[in-house]
Amino acid sequence: MEDMLKKEDFENNNIIDMNVLYFVTGNQGKYREVVELARKYGLVVEMLNIEKIEIQSDDIREIALFSARWVAAKIRRKIPIVVEDAGLFIEALNGFPGPYSSYVYKTLGLNGILKLLDGIENRRAYFRAVAVLEHPVLGEQVFEGIVYGRIAHYPRGTGGFGFDPIFVPEGEEKTFAELSVSDKNKYSHRARAFRNLFEWIRSRFSKA
Ligand code: ITT
């Protein structure tokens, strides 16, 4: 495996600890989930709550890529960063709110979404997450995760954030907001994307 990296590669690049990643987000809920997962891989994830630009696009992959490249350029690629964009896609609403999830959550809220689905039998929906790693040595890599499920008829639970109280993942009866962080991580779009990312990073390191 010739592209395996050794500790010296990182030291030459002025990275002190190769087990640390910086997650650029202002969302504490996302951060909690990712930290819980990272621990299992022996990785430390720090929250980097700095400005990042979010372009308007109907593709969350494009949004995440643009943000990640922008932040990486701003910090002159000195540390490994991850930017993640996620959205809720509701089948009966043709994928709405999708890339506009954050705005729709702030404006319509959970009840607004439930009203739009009033009388509609098809409750199918999915969350999608795209996590972009910009690494000083390993370069750019994109990881995705999806969880299918359905929209509940009324909000339940107090955990999590955003649309968690109205989303029930396939194979569960509880909403994401009724699950603990580690139980949400068994299903979630974010956990799937980050598990791929952490496994990929681990596969690049030779054992010290
Ligand atoms: P960033 O700082 O990381 O951008 P954000 O809250 O703006 O945080 P996104 O743009 O990625 O995050 O997410 C858009 C919205 O989608 C988010 O505000 C939630 O309302 C919703 N969302 C995404 N992932 C979710 C999850 O796991 N559970 C519930 N809602 C979620």
What pLDDT, on a 0 to 100 scale, did the predictor assign at position 108? 97
Q: Is 9 a catalytic residue?
A: no
Pull the structure tokens for residue 31.
């951060």
Ligand 1 center from residue 178 Cα (angstroms)? 18
How is domain 7-204 classified at the CATH fold level? Maf protein (3.90.950)
Ligand 1 pocket test target in 161, 188, 192 with most atoms within 8 Å of CB: 161
Q: Can you give the residue ranges of every domain in the chain?
A: 7-204
pTM above 0.85, yes or no: yes
What is the Cα–Cα distance from 117 to 130, expressed in whole angstroms? 26
Residue predicted with more confidence, 14 or 138: 138
Position 208 pLDDT exceeds 90: no
What is the per-residue pLDDT for 172?
A: 97
Residues with Cβ within 8 Å of residue 164, at least 6 apart in sequence: 29, 157, 175, 176, 177, 184
Burial of 9 (0-12, 13-18, 19+ CB in 10 A): middle
What average pLDDT is seen over the chain?
Answer: 92
pLDDT band at 13 (very low <50, low <70, confident <90, very high): low
Strand 20-24's sheet: what is its strand order?
A: 44-48, 20-24, 81-90, 124-135, 139-151, 167-169
Q: Which atom of ligand 1 is nearest to the CA of 161?
A: 29
